[in-house]
C-alpha cells in the first residue's frame, strides 16, 4: 500500500466516523459518573439503541424517528440500571452488567420475533451523507468533513453543550457536587436521588444515540452484537478523558483512529490482527494510561434514608 494524500484523507475520514459512537457513549458516561453512578452499563444501552433505532425506522420509514426510538430505549434500559443501583442500592457494577447481559440476550430474541430473521435485520431508511458542496470548497478539512453525515456534527455540538452544562451552569455544578459528596449535597438541600437519575438518564440517551449511529449512521440495518464492545471502550475513554467532555472528544478520536485501521488496512494485514487493534490499545491504556486518575469521590455512595 502506497501512502499518499488520498490514503491520509481516507484514514482521517474513517477515524472521525469511527469516533462518533465512542464520543456519544463516553459523553453519556460523563453525566453518569459526574452524578456519582458508575457507567458500566453503556454497552447494553448502546446495543438497545442500535436495535430499537432500526425498529423505529422500519416501523415509521423515517430515520429521524428511528433515532428517537434508539434514544428512548437507551433511556429505558438505563433506568433499569438506575432503579437497581440508586433505589435498591445494588452494586453499580452488578446492575450495569445486568443491563449489558439483558440487551445482549433480548436483541437477538426481538430480532427473531419482530423481523423473523436471525443474525441481522432487513435494511431500513438510514442517514445519508448530506450533499454539502460548500464543504468541498474549504481547504484541507473540507473533503474530510464532507465525508461525514449529519450525526457527526450533532455529536460535536453535543460535546460543546455538555461541557458548558457541566462546568458553566448552576445545575451542572450541583450535579458534580452530588457526584463528589452526596452527603454534603443532601445537607445543603439538593435532591441527590433526582440528580443521580438525571445523570443515568442522560447516559442512556447518549448511549442510545451512539447505538443508533452504528445502525443508522454507519449502516442501514441491525446486526447481532454490533456494538462489539464499544460500550466498554467508552468506559475506558471516559476515565482516560478524566470525565470531561473535551477529554472524551480527544480520547474518542484517539481510539477511533485504531478502530479505523480495521477498514483502511483490512486487505493489507491479516484480518484477525487488524480487528484486535482497538482492544489491544484499550488494554494498554488501562495498564499504562490511567495511573493517577480517579473518578468523582462520591461514585457508588448513597445518602442515608
Instruction: Give domain status of residue 302, yes or no.
Output: no
Are 297 and 181 within 8 A, CB to CB?
Answer: yes
For residues 276 and 262, the answer to whether their CB atoms sit within 8 Å is no
Q: Give the three-state DSSP class for 223.
A: strand
Is residue 34 assigned to a domain?
A: yes
pLDDT over threshold 70, residue 269: no
In a domain, 102, yes or no: yes
The CA distance from 107 to 50, in Å, is 9
Residue 85 DSSP class: I
Closest CA to 48 of 198, 207, 233, 158: 207
> Which positions ≥6 away from 176 have C-beta within 8 Å?
34, 166, 296
Band (223; pLDDT cuts 50, 70, 90) = very high
How confident is the model over 271-285, as pLDDT tens digits? 666 667 777 777 777
- Alpha carbon 25 to chain centroid distance? 1
| Residue pLDDT, tens place only, 30-89 | 999 999 999 999 999 999 999 999 999 999 999 999 999 999 999 999 999 999 999 999
Are 122 and 64 in contact, with CB atoms under 8 Å apart? no
User: What are the CA-CA distances from residue 152 to residues 126, 130, 145, 186, 302 (Å)?
Assistant: 14, 11, 9, 38, 36
Q: How confident is the model at residue 264 (pLDDT cuts 50, 70, 90)?
A: low
Q: How far apart are CA 238 and CA 280, in angstroms?
A: 17
CA nearest neighbour of 212 among 78, 72, 104: 72
- Output the pLDDT for position 194: 96
259 vs 278: CA distance, rounded Å: 5
Q: What pLDDT score was predicted for residue 121?
A: 93
Q: Is residue 296 part of a domain?
A: no
How many domains is the chain partitioned into structurally?
1
Range of the domain at 55: 5-289
Residue 297 lies in a domain: no
Does some domain include residue 111?
yes
**pLDDT band at residue 113 under the 50/70/90 scheme:** very high
* CATH number of the domain enclosing 232: 1.10.3470
Q: At what angle do helices 170-180 and 192-212 cross, to 10 degrees?
A: 100
Work out the pLDDT band at 142, boundaries 50, 70, 90: confident
pLDDT of residue 23: 96
**Residue 66 counted as domain residue:** yes
Q: Does residue 249 belong to any structural domain of this protein?
A: yes
Amino acid at each position: 500500500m502506497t501512502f499518499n494524500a488520498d490514503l491520509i484523507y481516507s484514514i482521517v475520514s474513517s477515524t472521525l466516523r469511527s469516533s462518533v459512537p465512542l464520543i456519544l457513549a463516553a459523553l453519556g458516561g460523563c453525566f453518569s459518573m459526574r452524578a456519582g453512578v458508575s457507567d458500566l452499563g453503556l454497552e447494553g444501552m448502546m446495543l438497545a439503541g442500535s436495535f430499537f433505532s432500526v425498529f423505529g425506522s422500519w416501523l415509521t420509514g423515517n430515520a429521524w424517528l428511528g433515532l428517537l426510538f434508539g434514544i428512548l430505549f437507551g433511556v429505558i434500559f438505563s433506568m433499569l440500571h438506575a432503579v437497581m443501583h440508586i433505589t435498591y442500592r445494588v452494586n453499580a457494577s452488578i446492575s450495569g452488567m445486568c443491563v449489558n447481559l439483558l440487551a445482549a440476550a433480548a436483541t437477538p430474541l426481538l430480532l427473531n420475533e419482530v423481523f423473523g430473521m436471525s443474525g441481522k435485520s432487513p435494511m431500513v431508511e438510514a442517514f445519508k451523507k448530506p450533499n454539502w458542496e460548500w464543504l468541498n470548497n474549504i481547504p484541507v478539512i473540507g473533503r474530510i468533513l464532507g465525508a461525514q453525515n449529519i450525526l457527526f456534527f450533532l455529536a460535536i455540538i453535543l460535546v460543546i453543550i455538555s461541557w458548558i452544562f457541566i462546568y458553566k451552569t448552576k445545575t451542572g455544578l450541583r450535579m458534580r457536587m452530588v457526584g463528589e459528596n452526596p452527603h454534603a449535597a443532601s445537607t445543603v438541600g439538593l435532591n441527590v436521588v433526582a440528580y443521580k437519575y438525571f445523570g443515568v438518564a442522560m447516559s442512556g440517551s447518549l448511549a442510545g444515540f451512539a447505538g443508533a449511529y452504528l445502525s443508522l449512521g454507519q449502516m442501514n440495518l441491525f446486526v447481532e452484537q454490533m456494538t462489539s464492545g464499544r460500550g466498554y471502550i467508552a468506559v475506558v475513554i471516559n476515565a482516560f478523558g478524566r470525565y470531561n467532555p473535551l477529554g472524551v472528544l480527544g480520547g474518542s478520536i484517539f481510539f477511533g483512529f485504531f478502530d479505523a485501521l480495521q477498514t483502511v488496512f483490512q486487505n493489507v494485514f491479516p484480518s484477525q490482527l487488524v480487528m484486535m487493534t482497538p482492544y489491544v490499545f484499550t488494554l494498554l491504556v488501562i495498564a499504562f494510561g490511567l495511573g493517577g486518575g480517579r473518578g468523582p469521590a462520591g461514585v457508588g455512595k448513597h445518602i442515608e434514608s
